[in-house]
Amino acid sequence: MNRTPRLARSLLLATATATAAVVALAPPAFAAAPMVKTQAPGYFRLMLGQFEVTALSDGTVDLPVDQLLKEPADTTRKAMAAHFLAVPTETSVNAFLVNTGTKLVLVDTGAGALFGPTLGRLVASLKAAGYEPGQVDDVLVTHMHPDHVGGLVAAGQVVFPNATLHLGQADVDALMKAAPPADGKPAEPGPRDMVAPYAAAKHLQPVVADGEIVPGIRAEAAHGHTPGHTVYVVESGGRKLLLVGDLIHVGAVQFAHPEVTISFDSDTKAAAAARAKVFHEAAKEGAWVGAAHLQFPGIGHLKANGAGWDWLPVNWTQNR
Ligand SMILES: [Zn+2]
């Protein structure tokens, strides 16, 4: 006696028929599809109260971190291996776009053409994220290094023609004092050439003291990495994001050992002190942190752990 219910019988029959059809119709798999090798568009969006924050990737660059950090190279190599990271280390260059609802504010601009072919993708990421450079009202630069100001100018033209540029006064002073090359030949374009057109157009407003730049975003001195290195604090709806620039470069080493500095720091003692102060503030308040060189999108929280911090990267979100 057949106990299989009629529905199950017809499903079995349908499955057998479909399988036969697939076997008959499927083409033989001679070759795999060509590899595509591109990454997802370089942006990540997060709501912060009423503000929309978009992390923008400028690309990545391989850094010989074992040669750059101020600790024995072997110690660095062991720490990187423990985090399954190669040396040289593929290092992100991130910028952040904040739409406050009344102002569109960009924090850092990537490297432009100043740091090799793997960087300079900021404008592509900005456009992929749904914005145009001409919409940016204010550019806040954390410091004057090429991987933060290089995106201000492209092919001799300002990239953000409608923006006011804000940069720590001490960095502006250091840039503008930089001596021309001794041999009289025109130097390779550098940070000074990125800032100068904004100064000439009277679009440069140096940051002279801590305080609000646009409603909801204020500057906080964090000198040491450069003389004018500045953190930008974004606040909306009771939530806070600290855009910390280059307070950290190598998370695999410097979260556990914040005393380890890097040769890019112009004043290593002050750089370590600024890192400790701002990270302590972020951990205590449970604020978001956005960093220029942590793995894209470079956004997460800090939790105190002994003499250092644990890094808790942002959860993926569709901003529903
Ligand atoms: Zn940097």
Helix 169-177 with 191-200: angle, nearest 10 deg: 110
* Distance separating alpha carbons of residues 218 and 242, to the nearest angstrom: 10
**pLDDT surpassing 90 at residue 17:** no
- Cα–ligand 1 centroid distance for 93 (angstroms): 7
| 269 exposure class (CB count in 10 Å sphere: 0-12, 13-18, 19+) | exposed
Q: What pLDDT score does 175 carry?
A: 87
**pLDDT surpassing 60 at residue 258:** yes
- Cα–ligand 1 centroid distance for 145 (angstroms): 6
Q: What pLDDT score does 1 carry?
A: 42
- Cα–ligand 1 centroid distance for 9 (angstroms): 66
Q: What pLDDT score does 197 carry?
A: 96
- Cα–ligand 1 centroid distance for 295 (angstroms): 13
- Cα–ligand 1 centroid distance for 319 (angstroms): 29
Q: What pLDDT score does 188 carry?
A: 82
Higher per-residue pLDDT: 97 or 27? 97
**pLDDT surpassing 90 at residue 24:** no
How confident is the model over 163-219, as pLDDT tens digits? 999 999 999 999 888 766 666 666 788 999 999 999 999 999 999 999 999 999 999
* Distance separating alpha carbons of residues 153 and 73, to the nearest angstrom: 36
- Cα–ligand 1 centroid distance for 312 (angstroms): 21
Name the strand (E) or helix (H) holding 57.
strand 51-63
- Cα–ligand 1 centroid distance for 261 (angstroms): 13
Residue 212: HSE in the Cβ half-sphere, 13 Å Cα cutoff = 4
Contact yes or no for 255/308 (Cβ under 8 A)? yes
Confidence of residue 290 (pLDDT cuts 50, 70, 90): very high
How confident is the model over 59-93, as pLDDT tens digits? 999 999 999 999 999 999 999 999 999 999 999 99
- Cα–ligand 1 centroid distance for 171 (angstroms): 14
- Cα–ligand 1 centroid distance for 232 (angstroms): 15
Name the strand (E) or helix (H) holding 276.
helix 268-285
Q: What pLDDT score does 180 carry?
A: 66
- Cα–ligand 1 centroid distance for 11 (angstroms): 61
- For each of the domains in the chain, give its residue range(s) and CATH number, in order of start: 40-313 (3.60.15.10)
Return the minimum-mean-pLDDT range out of 17-31, 100-114, 277-291: 17-31
- Cα–ligand 1 centroid distance for 113 (angstroms): 14
**pLDDT surpassing 50 at residue 240:** yes
